[in-house]
Amino acid sequence: MDGLIRTIQSATAGDPSKDVLYAATLASSKNTLKRAQGELDGLRRSDAVRVRAADEAAMLAWLARQPGSEAALADIRAMQALLAEAQALRERDFLLPFLRPGLLGSAITLQRLALERGKPDAQRESGYQQRDMALIEGGLK
């Protein structure tokens, strides 16, 4: 995010018309970065990653000692694989809004909407549910 902010600032430097065009994007990006940095600082102070990993390892070790736990452990491993895959998509999807201007962005939005509409509304990705249609339509206009 910081790289995006620096890129926008250098690309708009000295051009008031570009400053106006990118003011909202720049302000939003700075706000997002500040919030994310605060959250990361809090997580680092609490050592949350290590604590959670230790709790998870202890729980899995306990479960492995329980009779008949093989199926549950297999389900957990399968879910962990799905979560890892979802994280990779989440990282990609976070960057897409910054990479897709104009018609390309509209095409990507419409293609994703077509995929999501094949699912029941409650199972659709956030941002592509029925409640989001007015916002999508406004963005495309």
DSSP letter string, the chain? -HHHHHHHHHHHTT-HHHHHHHHHHHHHHHHHHHHHHHHHHHHHHHTHHHHHHHHHHHHHHHHHTSTT-HHHHHHHHHHHHHHHHHHHHHHHHHHHHHH--HHHHHHHHHHHHHHHHTS-GGGSPTTSSGGGHHHHHHHH-
Residue 137 lies inside a defined structural domain of this protein: yes
Percent of the chain with pLDDT over 70: 94
Determine, yes or no, domain membership for 18.
Answer: no
**What are 109-122's pLDDT values in tens digits?**
889 999 999 999 99
Domain with 105, as residue range(s), is 100-141
**Band (36; pLDDT cuts 50, 70, 90):** very high
- What confidence score (pLDDT) does residue 120 get? 93
In-domain check, residue 129: yes
Mean pLDDT across the stretch 77-91?
90
Structural domain contains residue 87: no
**116 falls within a domain:** yes
**60 within a domain of the structure (yes/no):** no
pLDDT at 91: 77
**Number of domain units in the chain:** 1
**Mean pLDDT on 66-78:** 96
The answer as to whether 69 is a domain residue is: no
Model-wide pTM > 0.85: no
Residue 100 clears pLDDT 60, i.e. is over it: no
pLDDT of residue 18: 85
When comparing pLDDT for 1 and 55, which is higher? 55
Is 131 within a domain?
A: yes
